[in-house]
């Protein structure tokens, strides 16, 4: 079988997948949840599946289930939604791009124009509650993480870290390069499913002015924001 | 039911933790010292309620607005009920108006207070465990925990002899982590011989000095679980704890056993420690 499995403890495992299988992580997750009711929690990162059991489970007992799930051909059963989300370039108090390109305004605007044309894919959530890792940045737009993280990055800051794009859901220290701000909250803690973008969903960005940014942000804070307007 | 006259440092409410939300980037939270937490549950068992108040270094001063049984487990310290010294792992009965003062801890740094009461604290995402921004970060002065004290005369005055030698332990048993194999034999040996010392800590994790400088840079972000020992390029260890971020990009070298996580959670700054490798 073409996968690696790692046992962290008596009840926690990670399974590394090949690229083809990694594209079907939502389906694999669903199938494993069905056949392993003793699973307490299942999550995935870029190319790994992480299984958490409430009580110890032997590796020998787990492997046949994974073999069975992996041996059936996969097709997309879980809907991947596409989203188009507003960002505001002016609302970013200090864009790191200008710093990164040493004040070269042309390079900054070229970077932003290319950024706005990309269709990203949300791979997984991590780092902070509701911080999604978006893949899809071309190699020549990768920005290495900063050597010295910024102390407090503002909520809604859209930033680039290596090959990923992410939006800070709350104020936090951060080592990624901030480029603009998104007024839409990516997570709420009250109402399931808590996030509107499910993993493997697609995300693109479009620019709005400061007025529109403020209106959307206020609507979001008052719980009046209609998320459907951003769905494609 | 209980009013905080003084909240203490980082005093938080914990249950077993928040499970099932890791996929949204939400840590499991729950007690730092699971051993002490479990002891509190064993001394005052209740169906459907496994809360305990986690105190760090200096605990709260609380006034009982109703008669209430309680127990303290974990770190030792200067703990008093109405001015009389009280001990760990014994169930006490606080009267209405009584004052419980969880002073400075003297051995270990985290203790747990459990009440024989059904607390009236709403769960968020299946748990009452404090974790900002899902809940407030800590209790505040004058905050009141509401709930119903339960009559527990049969449980009152229970006392368990507890093996608390783990408070003195300085050896952290660990199994190999996912990236252990990326290290050379020499590097593995150095890690297992390392003289560790606590640089800083909070509920997210422990930062330990004593690692080795290395040139493993920016590894792809991977899942991090409590007890995972990560090696930074600068040569420090970061051990993820209850509120640790669910993903991280450092080298994942070792995984502490649950016992070792409890041992570590009772250590403050400058405590000296070593790893001890146990094969799978």
Of A12, A50, A130, the CB nearest to B24: A130
Tell me the pLDDT tens digit for each residue of B231-266: 998 899 999 999 999 998 899 999 999 999 999 999
Q: Do B228 and A131 touch (CB under 8 A)?
A: no
B240 φψ region: left (φ > 0), alpha (ψ -120 to 50), beta (else): beta
Coil, helix or strand for B20?
A: coil
Residue B179's pLDDT is: 93
- Scanning the structure block, which residue is given the tokens 């747990």? B112
Instruction: State how far the Cα of B239 lies from the Cα of B217, in Å rounded to an integer.
Output: 18
Describe the strand order of the beta sheet including A39-44 as a list of residue ranges.
A4-9, A12-16, A48-53, A39-44
Give the pTM. Answer: 0.94
Residues of B within 8 A of A164 (CB-CB) are 221
Is residue B156 pLDDT above 70, yes or no? no
Question: What tokens appear for B190 in the block?
Answer: 């150095």
Instruction: State how far the Cα of A30 lies from the Cα of A35, in Å rounded to an integer.
Output: 9
Q: Do A124 and B23 touch (CB under 8 A)?
A: yes
A50 touches B: beta carbon within 8 Å: yes
Tell me the pLDDT tens digit for each residue of B204-237: 999 999 988 888 766 678 899 999 999 998 899 9
Residues of A within 8 A of B258 (CB-CB) are 9
Alpha-helical segments (H) within chain B: 34-43, 185-193, 258-265
Question: B98 to chain A nearest CA, in Å?
Answer: 36
Of B26, B124, B221, the CB nearest to A133: B221
Tell me the pLDDT tens digit for each residue of A24-74: 999 999 999 999 999 999 999 888 999 999 999 999 999 999 999 998 888
CB-facing half-sphere around the CA of B42: CA atoms within 13 A: 14
Question: What tokens appear for A183 in the block?
Answer: 């007024």
Chain B, window 130-159: residues with a beta carbon less than 8 angstroms from a chain A beta carbon? 133-134
Tell me the pLDDT tens digit for each residue of B175-206: 999 999 999 999 999 999 999 999 999 999 99
Residue A92's pLDDT is: 65
Question: What tokens appear for B4 in the block?
Answer: 């905080």
Number of A–B residue contacts, CB under 8 Å: 88
What are the CA-CA distances from residue A5 to residues A15, A62, B28, B170, B251 (Å)? 4, 10, 23, 31, 18
Question: What tokens appear for A52 in the block?
Answer: 């958490």
Q: Do A129 and B25 touch (CB under 8 A)?
A: yes
Q: Is the CB of residue A53 less than 8 Å from the CB of residue A175? A: no
**Percent of chain B predicted with pLDDT > 90:** 85
Question: What tokens appear for A66 in the block?
Answer: 């994974």
Instruction: State how far the Cα of B249 lies from the Cα of B256, in Å rounded to an integer.
Output: 18
Q: What is the pLDDT along chain A (232 residues), one digit of tens a residue?
A: 678 999 999 999 999 998 888 889 999 999 999 999 999 999 998 889 999 999 999 999 999 999 999 988 888 888 899 999 999 998 666 689 988 999 899 999 999 999 999 999 999 999 999 999 999 999 999 998 887 888 899 999 999 999 999 999 999 998 899 999 999 999 999 999 999 999 999 999 999 999 999 999 999 999 999 999 999 9
Q: Which of A125, A14, A31 is nearest to A78 (CA)?
A: A31
pLDDT band at B153 (very low <50, low <70, confident <90, very high): low
The per-residue b/e assignment along A98-121, b for 16 or more CB within 10 angstroms, e otherwise, is eebbeeeeeebeebbeebeeeebb
Q: Which of A81, A107, A80 is nearest to A95 (CA)?
A: A107
Tell me the pLDDT tens digit for each residue of B113-125: 999 999 999 999 9
| Mutation site for A-interface testing, chosen from B16, B133, B226, B232 by largest number of A Cβ within 10 Å | B133
A56 touches B: beta carbon within 8 Å: no
């Amino acid at each position: 079988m073409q996968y690696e499995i790692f046992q962290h403890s008596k009840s926690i495992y990670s399974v590394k997948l090949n690229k083809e299988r990694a594209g079907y992580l939502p389906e694999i997750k669903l199938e494993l949840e069905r056949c392993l009711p003793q699973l307490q929690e299942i999550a995935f990162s870029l190319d790994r599946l992480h299984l958490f059991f409430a009580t110890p489970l032997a590796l020998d007992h787990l492997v046949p289930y994974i073999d069975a799930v992996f041996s059936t051909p996969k097709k997309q059963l879980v809907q991947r939604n596409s989203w188009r989300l507003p960002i505001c370039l002016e609302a970013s108090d200090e864009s790191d791009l200008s710093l990164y390109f040493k004040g070269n305004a042309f390079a900054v605007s070229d970077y932003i124009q290319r950024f706005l044309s990309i269709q990203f894919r949300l791979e997984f959530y991590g780092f902070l509650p509701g911080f999604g890792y978006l893949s899809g940045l071309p190699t020549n737009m990768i920005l290495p993480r900063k050597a010295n993280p910024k102390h407090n990055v503002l909520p809604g800051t859209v930033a680039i870290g290596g090959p990923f794009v992410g939006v800070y859901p709350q104020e936090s220290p951060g080592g990624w390069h901030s480029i603009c701000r998104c007024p839409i909250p990516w997570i709420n803690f009250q109402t399931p499913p808590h996030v509107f973008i499910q993993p493997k969903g697609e995300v693109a960005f479009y620019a709005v002015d400061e007025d529109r940014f403020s209106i959307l942000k206020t609507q979001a804070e008052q719980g009046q924001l209609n998320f459907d307007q951003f769905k494609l | 039911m209980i009013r905080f006259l003084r909240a203490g440092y980082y005093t938080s409410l914990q249950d077993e933790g928040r499970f099932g939300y890791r996929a949204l980037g939400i840590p499991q939270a729950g007690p730092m010292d699971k051993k002490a937490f479990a002891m509190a549950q064993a001394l005052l068992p209740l169906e459907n309620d496994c809360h305990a108040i986690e105190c760090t270094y200096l605990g709260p001063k609380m006034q009982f607005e109703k008669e209430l049984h309680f127990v303290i487990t974990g770190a030792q310290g200067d703990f008093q009920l109405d001015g009389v010294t009280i001990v760990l792992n014994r169930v006490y009965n606080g009267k209405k108006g009584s004052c419980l003062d969880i002073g400075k801890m003297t051995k270990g740094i985290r203790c747990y207070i459990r009440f024989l009461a059904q607390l009236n604290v709403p769960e968020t995402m299946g748990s009452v465990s404090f974790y900002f921004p899902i809940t407030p970060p800590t209790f505040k002065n004058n905050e009141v925990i509401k709930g119903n004290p339960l009559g527990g005369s049969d449980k009152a005055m229970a006392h368990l002899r507890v093996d608390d030698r783990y408070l003195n332990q300085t050896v952290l048993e660990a199994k190999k982590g996912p990236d252990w194999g990326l290290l050379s034999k020499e590097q593995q040996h150095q890690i297992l011989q390392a003289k560790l010392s606590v640089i800083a800590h909070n509920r997210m994790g422990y930062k330990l000095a004593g690692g080795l400088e290395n040139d493993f840079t920016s590894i792809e972000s991977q899942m991090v679980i409590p007890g995972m020992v990560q090696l930074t390029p600068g040569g420090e260890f970061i051990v993820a704890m209850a509120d640790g971020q669910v993903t991280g990009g450092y080298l994942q070298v070792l995984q502490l056993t649950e016992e070792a996580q409890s041992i570590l959670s009772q250590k403050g700054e400058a405590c000296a420690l070593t790893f001890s490798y146990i094969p799978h």
